[in-house]
């Protein structure tokens, strides 16, 4: 069945460092791909999405490109801030409008 | 997007009791979902709340334990029945609109069962 694999956390970086959080997927068909972010004590927020191969989603300085050839959707940011500390979830669209979720990656940014 | 509210935001309950969580959306939506997020874990879908009919439950979740209502296109409730400490989790509702596959989430209900 469809699945999403994320790099294990926590990922700890210093402020202004470059961020990559890896996400790979297994799916039949051509799903949409998502990154959601969960700040401490809050619900999930949609960070960005891509609906077809080679699409790039972007928001708040974060980017991810839908790579069909490598079945990947890695999240990147050029310069992270302390306020980016959160848990990041990669997901893909499954059947019946459901989402298939990765395990989540906790990001810790130190000043 | 959609503005989604949940009540209560958190609660501490005794084992054996039940808690009903409300999810209110600011406009009509096609589909509503209920998730459980256990501490430090990812999201697990409990059920899809269908307007005017019974909810569709995922494997491992049953109606007797998690009864769901959806009386209209903007509101749903999830009840956690006969609670045990293992039910301590964050419960989240989400919606999508116009049959797109993007889901928008409420702020969650943080439940602790003693």
Token pair 């999508």: residue: B96
Task: Name A62's bridge partners.
Answer: A59, A77
Q: What is the pLDDT of residues A5-37, one digit of tens each?
A: 999 889 999 999 999 999 999 998 889 999 999
CA dist., res. B57 & res. B48, Å (int): 7
- Verify whether the Cβ–Cβ distance B105 to A43 is below 8 Å: yes
- Interface of chain B against chain A, CB under 8 Å? 1, 6, 30-31, 33, 41-43, 45, 48, 56, 92, 94, 96, 99-108
The number of residues making up chain A comes to 111
Q: What is the pLDDT of residues B60-108, one digit of tens each?
A: 999 999 999 999 999 999 999 999 999 999 999 999 876 678 999 999 9
Alpha-carbon dihedral sign for residues B57, B61, B104, B26: positive
* 3-class secondary structure, A82: helix
- Verify whether the Cβ–Cβ distance A97 to B99 is below 8 Å: yes
Alpha-carbon dihedral sign for residues A86, A106, B110, A101: positive
| CA-wise closest residue to A77 among A58, A49, A55 | A58
Nearest to A103 among B42, B92, B101 (CB): B42
Could you give the angle at the alpha carbon of A100 between the alpha carbons of A96 and A46, nearest 5°? 95
- Contact predicate A31/A94, CB 8 Å: yes
Q: What's the rounded mean pLDDT across residues B41-58?
A: 91
């Amino acid at each position: 069945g469809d699945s999403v694999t994320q790099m294990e956390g926590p990922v700890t970086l210093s402020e202004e460092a470059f961020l990559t959080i890896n996400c790979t997927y297994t799916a039949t068909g051509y799903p949409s791909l998502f990154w959601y972010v969960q700040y401490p004590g809050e619900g999930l927020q949609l960070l960005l999405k891509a609906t077809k191969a080679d699409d790039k989603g972007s928001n708040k300085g974060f980017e991810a490109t839908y790579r069909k050839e490598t079945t990947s959707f890695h999240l990147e940011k050029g310069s992270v801030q302390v306020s980016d500390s959160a848990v990041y979830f990669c997901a893909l669209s499954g059947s019946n409008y459901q989402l298939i979720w990765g395990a989540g990656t906790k990001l810790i940014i130190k000043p | 997007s959609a503005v989604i509210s949940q009540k209560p935001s958190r609660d501490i309950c005794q084992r054996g009791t039940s808690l009903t969580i409300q999810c209110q959306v600011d406009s009509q939506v096609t589909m509503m979902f209920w998730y459980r997020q256990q501490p430090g874990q990812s999201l697990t879908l409990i059920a899809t709340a269908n307007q005017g009919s019974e909810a569709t439950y995922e494997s491992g979740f049953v109606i007797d334990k998690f009864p769901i209502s959806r009386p209209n296109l903007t509101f749903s409730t999830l009840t956690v029945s006969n609670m045990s400490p293992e039910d301590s989790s964050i419960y989240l509702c989400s919606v999508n609109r116009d049959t797109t596959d993007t889901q928008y989430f409420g702020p969650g209900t943080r439940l602790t069962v003693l």
